Amino acid sequence: MKLRTRILSFVIVICMVLPVLSLVTAGKTVRADSEGGVEGFVTRLYEICLEREPDQGGLNSWVNRLTTGRITGAQAARGFVFSNEFTRRNLDNRSFVDSLYRVMFDRDPDAQGLDAWTAALNGGMTRSEAFDGFTDSVEWANTCAAYGIQSGSSSAPSVDTGTSPSPTPIPSPADQTSADGIEGFVRRLYSGFLGRSPDPAGLSDWTSRLSSGQTTGFDAANGFIASDEFHSRARTMSATTLVTVFYNTFLGRNPTASDVTYYTSGMGSDLEANLQMLLLCFSNSDEFISYCESNGIIPGAGNGASLISDAEVTQIFNRSVLIGSSTTEGFKLYFSAYGRGIMGNVNVCSRVSYSLLNDMTNRTAYLPVYNGTPLRARDIIQSSGCDYAFICMGTNDICNGVVTRYCNYLDDIRSLNPDTVIFVEACTPSLDDHPANVNIRELNDAMESYCDTHEGFIFIDTYTPLADSNGVLQRRYCSDGNVHITYSGYAKWIETLTQAVRQYIYEQRIAGNPV
């Protein structure tokens, strides 16, 4: 905690000082983009955060609330930066900091500031803390002044007590209906999970954070459930009592007998596992989400994947095989240089020039090798006894008929391995457009549709995280000017696979399925 505090203090100083130095030494001021006023400010949030033009209804709603003073620039920016639409971009820490500079300071980051903030996030600072550091800077105040809006503090509770049309992305903290509903929810957390009335400081803190959007309903409930105070009580509760507490706290009502039976039947002797299962199920229920939205709380449903531990992810990879061509072959080099980390003992079965056609025609000179023998993908999966297979194909097959061949390839794998979960990774992009990225994207769309309609197949978008805004392989991720990947590219690739596995475990747990 001390190290984290020192990092935060250092980075906030950097954030406040470097912008001033860069403005003085370079003789720059806020860009002329600000000539669009409030509308220009909102349009920029859409373009930078969501990478699209604003819809008219959303634009009008944001502009109206900013011009009337119902929200500040900081609150608007937070609404975009922590929206579901922005979060789904899955930016790494460096890219997130780059976006903050362009959103908050209307400029590209300076190298020193970019490095300092990225190091702080990698060292344990939360993205919310980083965002607050930017809004506390002089340069943020100057940016807002140039657009004619109040800068404000991102953590300040909104003064808006009315309702307004819900723009895109998720409603900002200023759309909260009233503090009463939020305070009532906080009191329920205290009485339900801790069995007592809230202390004034705790009540004020949780209410403020929920009102401002700093904390979601999911995060608040998780905070109480993870506390020592609740664990001490929970250890003395029967399964029936525990389920009743969750119903009372999350939904404000008692469960029926069938409700209790449903949940208790899936509970074991591990308290932590029981609490996690209940948290995920209740926080993602339609009833809880509806309650949050009607009481001015951002539900935060779907955040449960973050609760899945690295150890659980590694267990999946330990029971998996990676199958692919030369791009997958590069994982072996990456592991040799950096170790396997979260990928554990995953088995990499790949080969240069391996293709769908080579597999289906059994050309052994181009097939991946398993235990010293060239084998087709379906036979590797069967011979290894793996529970999960990650397949990345298409790079050597982009031409007429590739979709049909890929579908036949997957059908063939399933025929011999009916119980294996197959993760189909998107064909990764090329830098020089050979093969053409438009054809790669068409293949990926078709494979995503295949996975959507075939049980036991899960599509992972490994194309988008590696591509730039033009849809080609980012130069920093390309090792040969074509399709092969650098070590930093494999790090991004592994991050993408890890997120997909975490989400898979989470969704299976919600559904009550073993993994």
Domains contained in the chain, CATH given: 2-156 (1.10.3130.20), 179-305 (1.10.3130.20), 310-511 (3.40.50.1110)
Asked if residues 380 and 321 have their Cβ atoms less than 8 Å apart, the reply is: yes
- Asked if residue 126 has pLDDT above 90, the reply is no
What pLDDT, in 10s, does the model give residues 57-108? 788 888 888 888 778 888 889 889 988 888 888 999 999 999 999 988 888 8
Average pLDDT over residues 223-243: 92
Burial class (CB in 10 A: 0-12, 13-18, 19+), 178: middle
Supply φ then ψ for residue 467, to 5 degrees. Answer: -95, 155
Asked if residues 21 and 130 have their Cβ atoms less than 8 Å apart, the reply is: no
Output the CA–CA distances (angstroms, integers) from residue 203 to 78, 199, 215, in the order listed: 23, 6, 14
Least confident of 128-137, 257-266, 357-366, 491-500: 128-137
Q: How far apart are CA 299 and CA 83, in angstroms?
A: 12
Asked if residues 394 and 406 have their Cβ atoms less than 8 Å apart, the reply is: yes
> What's the number of CA atoms in the CB half-sphere (13 Å) around residue 167?
26
Average pLDDT over residues 253-278: 88
Average pLDDT of the chain, as a whole number: 84
Residues 6+ apart with CB under 8 A from 511: none
Q: Which has more confidence, 142 or 297?
A: 297
Bond preceding residue 374 cis, omega within 30 of 0: no
- Asked if residue 149 has pLDDT above 70, the reply is yes
Q: How far apart are CA 108 and CA 36, in angstroms?
A: 19
- Residue 15's pLDDT is what? 42
Supply φ then ψ for residue 396, to 5 degrees. Answer: -95, 15
Q: Percent of the chain, pLDDT > 90?
A: 49
- Asked if residue 248 has pLDDT above 50, the reply is yes
- Asked if residue 174 has pLDDT above 70, the reply is no
- Residue 18's pLDDT is what? 41
Task: Please identify which residue in the block is written with the tokens 């100083």.
Answer: 13
- Asked if residue 393 has pLDDT above 50, the reply is yes
Residues 6+ apart with CB under 8 A from 52: 46
pTM: 0.55
- Residue 153's pLDDT is what? 58
Please give the structure tokens belonging to residue 102: 């362009």
Neighbouring CB atoms inside 10 A of 55's CB total 12
Work out the widest C-alpha separation in the chain, in whole angstroms.
Answer: 73
Q: How far apart are CA 492 and CA 477, in angstroms?
A: 9
Cα-Cα-Cα-Cα dihedral sign, residues 85, 87, 90, 94? positive
Q: Percent of the chain, pLDDT > 70?
A: 86
Q: How far apart are CA 322 and CA 331, in angstroms?
A: 9
Q: How far apart are CA 81 and CA 131, in angstroms?
A: 9
* Of residues 222, 283, 289, 306, the one with CA closest to residue 510: 283
- What three-state secondary structure class fits 445? helix
- Asked if residue 172 has pLDDT above 50, the reply is no
Neighbouring CB atoms inside 10 A of 17's CB total 14
Report the length, in residues, of the chain: 515
